[in-house]
Amino acid sequence: MSSAKVYFEKTDAAVLEEKPESGKWSKKEVLGHLIDSAINNIQRFTEIQTAKKPYFIKSYNADALVNANNYQNKDINELFALWVSLNKQIKFIIDNQTTSTLAYPVILPDGETKNLKFLINDYADHLEHHLDQIYR
């Protein structure tokens, strides 16, 4: 996360707020989407611990959340700090999983059955994908 910190500190606000085309997110909004993703996944990763199995994954409307949270007009330093804090909590949650809890079954929105380990790996892949978008 230190490379991300340097990136956000050194990148001009106009670059972070520029939308590549109408209807597409700015880099700042992509970071906001990663915040929404972290919030939703913290809930999933913790709820599955006590929920009836299999755990059903509820999808969310990413565009609506980015708009509702108005990330485009939020201070980038505050966004970055929140994103870092949420991901520190996610790391803590992940570090406390066992072989048994990683095997907890989940049902994805498309009906496919996976497990908590898949969900965690999917979160990491999603995070990397969007960080690549930001750094371009």
Q: What pLDDT digit, counting tens, does each position of 84-131 carry?
A: 999 999 999 999 999 999 999 999 999 999 999 999 999 999 999 999
Question: Within 10 Å of residue 110's Cβ, how many Cβ atoms?
Answer: 7
Helices (H) and strands (E) in the chain, counts: 7, 3
Residue 62: per-residue pLDDT: 97
- Asked if the model's pLDDT at residue 2 lies above 80, the reply is no
Q: Strand 105-107 relative to strand 113-115: parallel, antiparallel, unpaired?
A: antiparallel
The answer to whether 72 and 26 are in contact (CB under 8 A) is: yes
CATH no. of 2-135: 1.20.120.450
Share of the chain above pLDDT 70, in %: 99
The CA-CA-CA angle for residues 93, 105, 119, to 5°, reads 50
3 state SS of 55: strand
Nearest-CA neighbor of 30 among 75, 72, 59? Answer: 72
Whole-model pTM: value is: 0.96
pLDDT computed for residue 3 by the predictor = 85
Question: Do residues 115 and 105 make contact, with C-beta atoms less than 8 angstroms apart?
Answer: yes
Instruction: Count Cβ atoms below 10 Å from residue 19 Cβ, excluding itself.
Output: 13
Distance CA 118, CA 116 (A): 5
